[in-house]
Amino acid sequence: MYLALKHTHITFAALSILFFALRGFWMLSTPEKLQQRWVRIAPHIIDTLLLASAIALTFTISQYPFSDAWLTAKLIALFAYIMLGTIALKRGKTKAVRTLALTMAPLCVGYIVWVALNHNPQPWLV
């Protein structure tokens, strides 16, 4: 059960990142593609399942955000990733702002994965 959950979580994390990268590419090249109905709906479904698997995993390993620092760090970094994603794909007023947000978002994701692998909010110290 634990392994199935973890693989589900990793699969939806990968889908979320890949789909974000695709939308980032479209934002720079053909922004009208971002308006397609399925492109606007799919991330909500993927991210809901990513979060649901994350919550199920926290209960499975009995470690929780605001109690275990690495999970608090993941949650905060996820929030930053979502904010940067919204700026990159929607709210950024100029293309320069959207591009800056788009290049910073992968830093958040990289940090999240690094923290996940080390169970430490400062994985560079491990």
The residue ranges that bind ligand HEM (CB under 6 A) are 6, 9-10, 13, 16, 54, 57-58, 61, 65, 71, 74-75, 78, 81, 109, 112-113, 116-117
Whether 13 and 47 have beta carbons less than 8 Å apart is answered as no
Cβ proximity to ligand HEM: between 3 and 125 the closer is 3
Complex with ligand HEM: residue 36 or 60, whichever CB lies closer: 60
State how far the Cα of 65 lies from the Cα of 55, in Å rounded to an integer: 10
- Smaller CB distance to ligand HEM: residue 74 or 98? 74
Considering the complex, state which of residue 58 and residue 99 has its C-beta at the smaller distance from ligand HEM: 58
Distance CA 56, CA 60 (A): 6
Query: CA-CA distance, 7 to 50, in Å (whole number)?
Result: 11
The least distance separating ligand HEM from the CB of residue 73, rounded to whole angstroms, comes to: 9
Give least dist CB 93 to ligand HEM, A.
25
Residues 88 and 99: their CA atoms lie apart, in Å, by 6
| Amino acid found at 64 | Y
Closest separation in Å from C-beta 80 to ligand HEM:
10
CB of 90 to ligand HEM, least distance (A): 18
Cα dist from 20 to 12, 70, 77, 123, whole Å: 12, 24, 16, 24
